[in-house]
């Protein structure tokens, strides 16, 4: 199995409505993208403000195999999400590792 973690940093053009739309899209991956064993996504609520560096949305996905992780990137549901980031994304941190 493989763990996929993503942290999103947005620019000032991101509205609360758009943030909720993106969160809903992320949660919709489960059941739509093959190979997902478990998924969680949410808005960062940490009180450690000196450490968040503006990353406000997080995603964690467990995939059943490395192949499923590789197939995830070009999947149309994932690509629709990537397109929805246009104009609002400032930075992204991605970490993938076997578990």
> Where does the pLDDT of residue 53 fall: very low under 50, low under 70, confident under 90, or very high at 90 and above?
confident
Cα(88)–Cα(66) distance, integer angstroms: 30
> Where does the pLDDT of residue 51 fall: very low under 50, low under 70, confident under 90, or very high at 90 and above?
low
Per-residue confidence (pLDDT) for residue 49, from 0 to 100: 62
Per-residue confidence (pLDDT) for residue 42, from 0 to 100: 97
> Where does the pLDDT of residue 46 fall: very low under 50, low under 70, confident under 90, or very high at 90 and above?
confident
What pTM was computed for the model? 0.91
- The residues, any chain, with a CB within 8 Å of residue 65's CB and separated by 6 or more, are 1, 2, 35
């Amino acid at each position: 199995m493989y763990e996929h973690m993503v942290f999103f940093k947005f620019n000032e053009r991101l509205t609360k409505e758009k943030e909720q739309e993106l969160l809903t899209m992320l949660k919709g991956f489960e059941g739509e993208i093959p190979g997902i064993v478990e998924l969680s996504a949410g808005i960062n609520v940490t009180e450690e403000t000196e450490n968040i560096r503006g990353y406000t949305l997080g995603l964690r996905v467990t995939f059943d195999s490395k192949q499923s992780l590789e197939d995830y990137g070009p999947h149309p549901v994932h690509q629709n999400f990537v397109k929805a980031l246009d104009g609002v994304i400032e930075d992204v941190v991605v970490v993938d590792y076997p578990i």
